[in-house]
Structure 1
Amino acid sequence: MSLEVEQLDSIDAVNRNQWNSVVEQSELGCVFHRYEWLRAVEAGLDREPRHVLVSKKGNPIAVLPNFVAELGPVDQLKSIEPGYGGPIAMTDEERALELLLDAVADRCDGRILFNQFRTYDQEYVRYHNLLRERGYDVVVHSCRFTLDLTRGWDAILEGMHGERRRGIRRGREREFEVVEEPLTAAVLSDFHDDYARVMDRVGMDALPRSFLAELQRLEDRITVFSLRADGARRGMYLYVSDDEQSSFQHLYTAVTADHFEYRAPELLHEHAIRWAIDRGYKAYELRGSTPDFRNGVFSFKEYFGARPIPLLLWERGRPAPALSALNLGRTLSRRFGRS
């Protein structure tokens, strides 16, 4: 049975249920492949979509979401950011992947000199040789931190560094409560105010307010917890439920420096971990960091007893030699301390 390929200039061009069915039935599918997340990225970040879909007898069987992203004076086709992407297929795996990759090559035109797959699941290594044959190199620029929730809270607490356990204990010495906030425009706006301050403090660009506002589209997947103490909010965390991978992921932080005295990071993480255990999730994600034990973010997350897992990233130049120039630029940036 022949397979058909479509190049999509918006997620709006496909049937939501059919697209999500591919995500749910593909072993490597995750929440960031879902129609609703892609729609939020399109609407909230105003990034040009260049998605690819493979169908069989008129029914989608494989998808590869992509967005055009600026990379200095040129562009890059990414799958995807924010979030994780890469090709997924529910049947006819080899042929479907070949067609997806062929279509991606066609979609890299004009200023687009690179394309990249930012994958979440290490099981993507199953595609390593196929991607190498297509000219892709694999690199590790970051890692994620995972807690095994099947161990239960007591074992997780015991596995934490003493500093984290003390932080939880000291936070509990004063009156507080952790509240699940309603996912309203006002809450997301308040969240963005402090989130932007946090990103400024660590020298990173914040996602625009418009993107967080679009997360209301994922109401059944997004959870916001706030710490309440002394009659006010003392920090918030935003989470996404990745039911496809049975993980509860900490996405964004709105805990500013003045919230530290309330031990907001420790108490919010404790509450969220317990919440996820109660709902049967297998993993808790503290999200990313540079893969360097000397980095403060790396140490903070590792102290929760979380296991660092490399995030595999496949990329290639179009034309191929462009990647060598990009890697040279990265080396010089690291050497001279530039972002």
Structure 2
Amino acid sequence: MALEVERLGSVAEANRNQWNNVVEQSELGCVYHRYEWLRAVEEGIGHEPHHLLVSKKGNPVAVFPNFVTDLGRVKRLSSIRPGYGGPVTMTDEEDALEMLLDAVGDVCRGTVLYNELRVYDQNYVRYNHFLESKGYQPTILSCRFTLDLTRGWDALFSEMDSERRRGIRRGHDYEFEVVDEAISEENCVAFYEDYATVADRVGLPTHPLAFFRELPRLEDRLKLFTLEVDGEARGQYMYLLDEEQSTLQHLFTGVTEDQFEYHAPELLHEHAIKWGIDEGYETYELRGSPPDFRNGVFRFKEYFGAETIPLLVYERGRPAPALSVLNVGRSLTRRLEP
């Protein structure tokens, strides 16, 4: 039976259960591929969706989420921002991939000059030669940090940098508790103010408040932990529960500088790591950073004893020479950085 590919102007045009079933049954699917995350991005950020779906006998067998995002004066087709994407398949892998990547070319028109696949799972490397044959070039623009939760808390704690261990111990000098908050619109909106303050401090782009209003769509895939010291809130961390990857992902930070004195980052990480172990997750992720040991965020996360894992991005210019122009711009930007 022939495969059929269709382009969706919103993931809402797909059947939610069928879409998520492809993500869950594929080898490379992650929480960012799921229907609920894509809807939150569509409704809360407003990126133009161009999702692709391959069906066989009317049943979805492969999905490929994409959004048009800004890149200076031009645009790129991203799979995906925010988050990670790439094509995922259940069956008919090679034929489905061929159809999906061919369909991407039809989307890249006008000012959409680039196409990128931001992949989370390192096993996407199995597509490396295939993607190169389609004109994609791999690059590493960031990395993530992971802890193996199957080793248990004591082993993980013993391998942390002495400064991290000292921070955790000093945090225990306070009377504190960590509260598991309900994933409600009210709590997500309340989290936003400190999140935006932190993002501004470290020079990261800030997602709009509207996006946080949409996050309760992912209620069963989110955790919001609040550190309370002497009954006062002293910082929050938000987490994604990536069941597909058996990973507890630190998603957003709501710990401001004035809360450092309570060792909020260390205590929240400690609580979340122990919670993840108790819940049977295999991996704890401290999220990403530039791949540069001189970067403060890189060093902070490395000091937790975490393994550094490169995040692959496959890029293609549309037309092909456009990618060379993008890479020249990146090189100039790095040289001008202080």
Q: Aligning the two structures, in what range does the TM-score lie when normalised by the shorter sequence? A: over 0.9
Task: State the Cα distance separating 1:203 from its structure 2 match.
Answer: 1.7
Give the 5 Å matches for 1:323-334: 323-334=323-334
Structure 2 equivalent of residue 261 of structure 1: 261
Task: State the Cα distance separating 1:286 from its structure 2 match.
Answer: 0.3
Structure 1 equivalent of residue 98 of structure 2: 98
Higher mean displacement: 203-212 or 299-308: 203-212
Residue 241 of structure 1 aligns to a residue whose secondary structure is strand
Structure 2 equivalent of residue 176 of structure 1: 176
Give the 5 Å matches for 1:235-246: 235-246=235-246
Overall identity of the aligned pairs, in %: 65
Structure 1 equivalent of residue 283 of structure 2: 283
Kept after mapping to 1: 8 A contact 2:146/2:306: yes
Question: 1:292 and 2:314 equivalent?
Answer: no
Question: Structure 2 CA distance, aligned partners of 1:212 and 1:151?
Answer: 34
Structure 2 equivalent of residue 208 of structure 1: 208
Structure 1 equivalent of residue 309 of structure 2: 309
String of CA shifts for 1:182-241, please: whole Å, max 9, x gaps.
112221111100000001111222111111111100000010001001321100000000
In the alignment, residue 130 of structure 1 is paired with which amino acid?
A: F
In the alignment, residue 185 of structure 2 is paired with which amino acid?
A: A
Structure 1 equivalent of residue 65 of structure 2: 65
In the alignment, residue 198 of structure 2 is paired with which amino acid?
A: V
Structure 1 equivalent of residue 158 of structure 2: 158
Structure 2 equivalent of residue 191 of structure 1: 191
In the alignment, residue 179 of structure 2 is paired with which amino acid?
A: V
Question: Structure 1 CA distance, aligned partners of 2:82 and 2:185?
Answer: 20
Question: Structure 1 CA distance, aligned partners of 2:275 and 2:215?
Answer: 21
Residue 41 of structure 1 aligns to a residue whose secondary structure is helix
Question: Structure 2 CA distance, aligned partners of 1:152 and 1:99?
Answer: 44
Kept after mapping to 1: 8 A contact 2:54/2:61: yes
Task: State the Cα distance separating 1:81 from its structure 2 match.
Answer: 1.0
In the alignment, residue 307 of structure 1 is paired with which amino acid?
A: E
Structure 2 equivalent of residue 321 of structure 1: 321
String of CA shifts for 1:49-70, please: whole Å, max 9, x gaps.
0000000000000010000000
String of CA shifts for 1:19-63, please: whole Å, max 9, x gaps.
000000000000000000000000000110000000000000001
Question: Structure 1 CA distance, aligned partners of 2:205 and 2:92?
Answer: 40
Question: Structure 2 CA distance, aligned partners of 1:279 and 1:230?
Answer: 28
User: Hey, which bits of structure 1, 4+ residues long, moved more than 2 A?
Assistant: none
String of CA shifts for 1:144-166, please: whole Å, max 9, x gaps.
00000000111011111111000
Question: Structure 2 CA distance, aligned partners of 1:188 and 1:245?
Answer: 24
Question: Structure 2 CA distance, aligned partners of 1:13 and 1:105?
Answer: 21
In the alignment, residue 125 of structure 1 is paired with which amino acid?
A: V
String of CA shifts for 1:292-331, please: whole Å, max 9, x gaps.
1111101100111110000000001000000000000111
In the alignment, residue 60 of structure 1 is paired with which amino acid?
A: P
Higher mean displacement: 203-212 or 115-124: 203-212
Question: 1:76 and 2:82 equivalent?
Answer: no
Q: Given the two structures, how large is their TM-score scaled by the length of structure 2?
A: 0.99
Kept after mapping to 1: 8 A contact 2:113/2:318: yes
Count how many residue pairs are aligned between Structure 1 and Structure 2. 338
In the alignment, residue 226 of structure 1 is paired with which amino acid?
A: T
Structure 2 equivalent of residue 146 of structure 1: 146
Question: Structure 2 CA distance, aligned partners of 1:305 and 1:209?
Answer: 33
Residue 36 of structure 2 aligns to a residue whose secondary structure is helix
Question: Structure 2 CA distance, aligned partners of 1:182 and 1:193?
Answer: 17
In the alignment, residue 160 of structure 1 is paired with which amino acid?
A: M
Residue 241 of structure 2 aligns to a residue whose secondary structure is strand
String of CA shifts for 1:260-296, please: whole Å, max 9, x gaps.
0000000000000000000000000000000111111
CA RMSD after TM alignment: 0.8
Structure 2 equivalent of residue 107 of structure 1: 107
Residue 173 of structure 2 aligns to a residue whose secondary structure is coil
